[in-house]
Chains A and B, each alone.
Chain A
Amino acid sequence: MKRILRALKSVYDFFAGDAILLAGTAIAFAAAFLLSHLATNALAAIAFVLLIVAALVTTLLREAGGSSR
């Protein structure tokens, strides 16, 4: 069991290593998929790019808050 968890952790670290980036990117892709079917292409594209940048901004602000403390 420990080995499986360690392997999963290695895979997670290899691809993301950051829960905020992983969750933010997943939300951006899910939103793009939904909005491309429900809303206009322009709105879906803008939301997609902004959500990706929002994930980056959030994780950086968290890091900055942690290091200043």
Chain B
Amino acid sequence: MIAHFGAVFVAAFLASAVEFVEAFTIVLVIGVTINWRSSLAGTALAVVALAAIVGVLGTALIRYVPLEALRLIVGLLLVLFGLKWLKKAIMRYAGLKALHDEEAIYEERLAELRARGVTPGKRLDPFGVATSFKSVLLEGLEVAFIVITFGIQAGSYKGMPGMAVAALGAALALLVIVGAGTLVRAPLQKIPENTLKFVVGIMLASFGTFWGGEGAGLAWWGEDLFLLALVAFYLAASGLLILLLRSGARRAGEGSERPTRRAIE
């Protein structure tokens, strides 16, 4: 059970860290281009909205939905989330998609805002507040979703609710990302985001398969220990897919180069 809680904590921490990096980039852009007052006001409003959503949704789900149905729905959604992240990470590793570059995104957003004629001032700027609010709320919703689903499924152990463990993981991620971002005062491009997304994708897909399977009426061998087998299986399948897609992309690249060479000759 402690290992299970540990896995929930790590998964919530990593998944939240990815989302916080993305939200932090926007908050930073608004702070630099418009002003910090607007940026932080939007962030604070989004945090309040998120707290309300988590409070209402989390409580309502636990109280009114039967556990078996919850397992099935949560499992399905976690598998979807996990596969979505895994797909993007695999495509980036295989060279089918450009690597996510927070520095480039930061520069792009900065240029966009400057092109709009936005100049720094001291007053609260509605556009700055709204942009910051929207980005923090959207990225935060993904964090909230992960915390709620993991928290509900983890149950409780010796009086400690799983929701608190998942929320602690997310809170620690927030502290680490905001702390690191404030210290370096730059987008967190040094964080290997694709690796994080890959690991989180594997974890979400494994947890989703495990809980979703239980909700559908399956009994896993070795109970919680089977989670490790699922992680190993998804890791091996993803590794194989990366290798296959990479060699396929290389062959396609060579194929498209050949006619050009002939044409030059």
Contact = CB atoms under 8 A, between A and B. Distances in A.
Interface of A: 14-18, 21-22, 25-26, 28-29, 32-33, 36-37, 41, 44-45, 48-49, 52-53, 55-57, 59-60, 63-64, 67-68
Nearest to A36: B217
Contacts of B72: 29, 33
B226 to A, nearest CB: 9
A60 B97 CA distance: 11
B241 A56 contact: yes
B230 interface: yes
B1 interface: no
A48 B245 contact: no
Given A21-B80, A57-B241, A64-B245, A36 B218 contact: yes
A57 B238 CA distance: 9
B96 A21 contact: no
A68 B86 CA distance: 20
Contact of B237 (A18, A26, A53, A64): A53
12 contacts: A25-B79, A32-B218, A33-B72, A41-B218, A48-B216, A48-B218, A49-B233, A52-B79, A53-B237, A56-B241, A59-B87, A63-B87
Interface residues of B, number: 35
B80 A22 contact: yes
B76 A25 contact: yes
Nearest to A26: B76
A52 B84 contact: no
Contacts of A67: 96, 249
Interface string B22-62: 00000000000000000000000000000000000000000
B80 A63 contact: no
B252 interface: yes
Tell me the dominant secondary structure on chain B's binding face: helix
Contact of B91 (A14, A36, A52, A63): A63
Interface stretch (B106-114, B159-167, B169-177, B205-213): B205-213
A40 B234 CA distance: 23
Q: Which 7 A-B pairs have the closest CB atoms?
A: A36-B217, A68-B252, A32-B216, A33-B216, A21-B83, A16-B80, A67-B96
A63 B95 CA distance: 12
Contacts of A33: 72, 216-217
B117 to A, nearest CB: 28
A64 B248 contact: yes
Contacts of A48: 209, 213, 216, 218
Contacts of B241: 56-57, 60
A52 B76 CA distance: 10
Given A25-B83, A29-B76, A37 B91 contact: no
Contacts of B248: 64, 68
A68 B233 CA distance: 28
B74 to A, nearest CB: 12
B84 A64 contact: no
Contact of B87 (A29, A41, A60): A60
B77 interface: yes
